[in-house]
Amino acid sequence: MHKAWVLFLVLFLFGCAPQDAQLLREIGKVEIPGREASGLTWHTGRETFFIVTDEGRVLEVSRGGTVVHDQEFPGLNFEGITFNPQSGMLYAAIEGRDRIVEIDPDSLAVLREFAVSRKLDGSKVITGGKEGFEGIEFVPDASHPDGGTFFVVNQATGEGTKREPSAILEVDLPLHFTLPPDGKKLLKGEILRGFVSPFLGLSGIHFDSRSGHLFAISDTEDRLLEATLDGDIVRTSVLPGQNQEGVAMVDGDFFIVQDEPATITFLICRFGE
């Protein structure tokens, strides 16, 4: 397997992508008119999807595509969403602001906001002003005081940001801290470590609790990357569709949302020969 953990003080090379091992094939499709998706997560406690849009909306959607709940957050550009299976809370990444907001899945109200530093060991690992977090996933860890950490993907495309890594970053948020009564204090998170992806334009990420592996997608190169939490690349695959913005796994199948005009499109995919 390919070791991908690196120090962010070196020059990154992107031309050594591993050979695709298996084909991820499309087995179905679900379309929801009227919205454009930028991320999704499967909430195991509610057995529904939560989808975010870059127009600042959060939708709860059934597996069959029925919209259960739809809430607007004016001025926010959501680019990824995940949930904590221990608390049931949702966490959405805001592009370009390095912020993560905690959302109640029942009311879809924002409860807390976290600001994440772009630095690791004193050096910036995210430099593009409008780029940044494009996907987010909570990974449980019983030994961690907050119950786990978050993994985010950085959308470096190589266009004007050639020294910036296209990377998966582990982020620590102080989930055990509470806000003061006025609710105005901004909590702070930090990047713990990261590994460079062989693919540019990462746009979504999912954690599979059964294998303990991360799955990241690239909408720039139409690829799926499977890696361990320690940075070993397990396999890669060509990704069906185009403009893929989010990925979640349900019962062994991948649900991938595409960014299409006025339509949320789920591609249902699985590995095959």
Q: Residue 56 corresponds to which amino acid?
A: G
Q: Is the pTM of this model over 0.95?
A: no
How much is the pLDDT for 182?
A: 63
pLDDT in tens, 153-206: 987 766 544 566 788 999 999 999 887 666 667 899 999 999 888 898 899 999
Q: Which of 5-14, 80-89, 254-263 has the lowest mean pLDDT?
A: 5-14
Residue 6 has pLDDT above 90, yes or no: no
How much is the pLDDT for 145?
A: 94
**Domains in the chain, CATH or no CATH each:** 21-272 (2.120.10.30)
How much is the pLDDT for 260?
A: 84
Q: Residues 22-39: what's their mean pLDDT?
A: 88
How far is the C-alpha of 60 from the C-alpha of 81, rounded, in Å? 12
Task: State both tokens at 127.
Answer: 């430099």
Neighbour tally for 175: CB within 10 Å: 24
Q: Residue 236 corresponds to which amino acid?
A: T
**Nearest C-alpha neighbor of 199 from the set 227, 172, 171:** 227
How much is the pLDDT for 160?
A: 47
pLDDT in tens, 108-136: 999 999 999 888 887 777 766 556 788 99
pLDDT in tens, 215-270: 999 999 999 999 999 889 999 999 999 999 999 999 999 999 998 888 899 899 99
Q: Given pLDDT bands bounded at 50, 70 and 90, which one contains residue 98?
A: confident
| Residue 38 CA neighbour count, 13 Å, CB half | 20
Task: State both tokens at 242.
Answer: 């185009």
Residue 5 has pLDDT above 50, yes or no: no
How far is the C-alpha of 264 from the C-alpha of 257, rounded, in Å? 7
How far is the C-alpha of 92 from the C-alpha of 193, rounded, in Å? 20
Residue 79 has pLDDT above 50, yes or no: yes
How much is the pLDDT for 7?
A: 40
